[in-house]
Amino acid sequence: MKMDATCDAYSYVPEIYKELRPVFRKAEEKYNFPLEIFTVFRLLSEQINRKTKISYSKKENILWIDLVVSGDKYEKLKKPEQRHDLSQVYFDTLATALRKYKFKELDTEAFLKDFEKWLTEIGWRKEEWEVAMEAMDT
């Protein structure tokens, strides 16, 4: 497995998505089979009306996640709040994508359990009260 991401965003998202690198490395080490998961994090105005897209190229064996979050919403959020929201949206989108395509080499539920644990380890799956406290300090 290979996991990677890029970003077409502003605000804190270009900093936040880079925090995923150690999680991606752990996934690559533990889940060794030929699949690439590539995510683009986008922060766009709601006026554009662009939605998140998920696709799978069987020929290239790449799962593409084009993740779109609201720039209008994120402009009003502090960094801890953006991280919290992005962690929810990203995890839910990744879970939806993996369940949709049902890769037979992957125990999807075990992978998602591990992935969520690794997200927690980097501070991405905090409780809302923890995020509120952090946001007060920034």
pTM: 0.90
Q: What is the DSSP track for 32-61? A: -SS-EEEEEEEEE-GGG----EEEEETTTT
Contact status, residue 43 vs residue 75, Cβ threshold 8 Å? no
Instruction: DSSP letter for 102, please.
Output: -
* pLDDT band at residue 138 under the 50/70/90 scheme: low
**pLDDT for 43-86, tens place per residue?**
998 998 999 999 999 999 999 999 999 989 999 999 999 999 99
Q: What is the pLDDT of residue 27?
A: 97
Indicate if the alpha-carbon torsion angle 17, 86, 34, 30 is positive or negative. positive
Q: What is the pLDDT of residue 136?
A: 80
Greatest C-alpha distance within the chain:
48
* Residues 22-34, mean pLDDT to the nearest whole number: 94
Q: What are the structure tokens assigned to 36, written together?
A: 């690439």
* Residues 22-37, mean pLDDT to the nearest whole number: 95
With a cut of 90, say whether residue 12 has pLDDT above it.
Answer: no
**pLDDT for 70-127, tens place per residue?**
989 999 999 999 999 999 999 999 999 999 998 988 999 999 999 999 999 998 987 7
The whole-angstrom separation of Cα 41 and Cα 64 is 11
